[in-house]
Chains A and B, each alone.
Chain A
């Protein structure tokens, strides 16, 4: 990879990008990003947040309540998954992860429904 772009470009580039695991499986989007760093320290990208439970925080203030009711409150491990930044392998058209989606808790909806659909004919 070429020189990493600066932090603001990174945030612009990765927010809302598709997550793809090490097996090439699509497993959610970068719905939010987390920074760490104390007062006076430069902020560092810490984690990607994936899951519709994080959406309401990005809505206009008046719509956050209904957004949380419709899309989820942000229950960690359920409708919101935290992907540590060091799990990102590559930034391109998609964000490639170093591990399988299942190991990171991603793509739960597809795993769950996949078990149901697996019983259908020609599935």
Chain B
């Protein structure tokens, strides 16, 4: 019973934690521009992250190695350093986008100057992470992020043509570069690598063993599928509200309008609250993810459950990450624009961390009998090829479409 409750709470936190500023930006824009025809990209992204996270969790539980430990070990120092540098940079850009996004949402709620909100968002996040026990942080952000479920309710309320929605689940090609760009963006938003680094490090901290493998499978499958439904709801709401009016949503406020159209002020407030906590939670995961990556690569002591004096360089790293993100946002860069760069560059770097995890997951030297089976290998390699394609296409598409503007 305790395990079922733990699983339910974990899944709830995962739903609220799945959506970050990437989905809030890309999915809403995708729905406005292409209606339901990119829902298949959400499905593909969700399956990809399930495969990646399940392998990472299993590798952590069986071999005791989190992602960046595996990267260092399997790719060696040189390639590992390049991967680390790319991951840290992308983490930082993503963190800045999340902090900036949190500030924008706070401004929509409180109407103070954006500079003040950036400072408030950064300080609040640092204080919460510093003083609140980590279980509490996960629950706060995860549960409050579930307010975003208003978009799922709104999606049903707006009575879309479900036949067209179903057709959108089948991969199609509109023949435009812009469509391809948004496909990459939607997939890239779903497979945010920082979520997987965080997940696998958490598995080590929670001392997972082979007894937790079933829990790992159920957790990633249910959590990400339900999160994916939320992600798909953003596209559906946007398709119903913005596409008919030819609106090109470029603001987080416009995203919230989708819920307001369905449920008025209550819908608006729930959407803003959900966005605030989803983005805030993502910021926390991002900062820790960067600290995990660096500490694991360098061999430092690490852990969110460790006393700060026992993992001091790990602690200093996430604090410095927040400080740098604050500086970036303070320069006045648009968090929405920053999000697009973060998602696209994440997609580019994804194979660098996916491949070592896949290689270890199928290596009986490390995994024993818990090595990938036939299905695991087929899915693992199939998605590596897909992600490699996404990775190679991402930057050319960003250039050709001028960052989705044309």
Tell me which residues across on chain B come within 8 A of A77, comparing CB atoms: none
Q: What B residues does A31 contact at CB under 8 A?
A: 77
B69, B299, B302, B307: most-surrounded residue (chain A CB, <10 A): B299
**Whole-angstrom CA separation of A123 from B46 in the bound complex:** 38
Q: Which residues of B have CB within 8 Å of A114? A: 309-310, 312
Contacts A26-B302, A93-B64 aside, 20 further interface pairs with beta carbons under 8 A come to A15-B76, A18-B69, A19-B299, A25-B301, A26-B299, A29-B299, A55-B77, A58-B78, A59-B78, A93-B63, A107-B300, A107-B301, A109-B313, A110-B312, A110-B313, A113-B312, A113-B316, A117-B315, A120-B308, A122-B131
Q: Which one of B63, B76, B302, B310 lies within 8 Å of A16 (CB-CB)? A: B76
What is the interface size of chain B, counting residues whose CB is below 8 A from a CB of the partner?
Answer: 27
Closest to B65 in A: A93
Interface string of B33-66 (1 = CB under 8 A from A): 0000000000000000000000000000001110
B362 at the interface (CB under 8 A from A): no
Question: B-facing mask of A96-122, CB < 8 A → 1, else 0?
Answer: 000000000001011001101110101
Shortest CB distance B67–A (Å): 13
Interface size on A, residues (CB 8 A): 31
Q: Is the CB of B77 within 8 A of A58?
A: yes
Most buried by A among B64, B76, B80, B309: B309
Q: Within 8 Å of chain A (Cβ to Cβ): is B72? A: yes
Which of A58, A59, A123 neighbours the largest number of chain B CB atoms within 10 Å of its CB?
Answer: A123
Is A73 an interface residue when CB atoms closer than 8 A count as contact? Answer: no
**Chain B nearest CB, measured from A101 CB (Å):** 9
Residues of A within 8 A of B (CB): 15-19, 25-29, 31, 50, 52, 55, 58-60, 92-94, 107, 109-110, 113-114, 116-118, 120, 122-123
Residues B77 and A117 in contact, CB atoms below 8 Å apart: no
Q: Which of chain A's residues has its CB closest to B72's CB?
A: A16
Interface string of B124-141 (1 = CB under 8 A from A): 000000110000000000
CA distance A16 to B84 in the complex (A): 14
| Sample of 24 A–B contacts (CB below 8 Å) | A15-B76, A18-B299, A25-B301, A26-B299, A28-B298, A28-B299, A29-B299, A50-B299, A55-B81, A58-B76, A93-B63, A93-B64, A107-B301, A109-B313, A110-B310, A110-B311, A110-B313, A113-B312, A113-B313, A114-B309, A117-B308, A117-B309, A122-B308, A123-B309
Q: Are B299 and A123 in contact (CB under 8 A)?
A: no
Indicate if B156 sits at the interface (CB-CB under 8 A).
Answer: no
Whether B73 sits at the interface, judged by CB under 8 Å, is yes
Collect the chain A residues with CB atoms within 8 Å of residue B311's CB.
Answer: 110
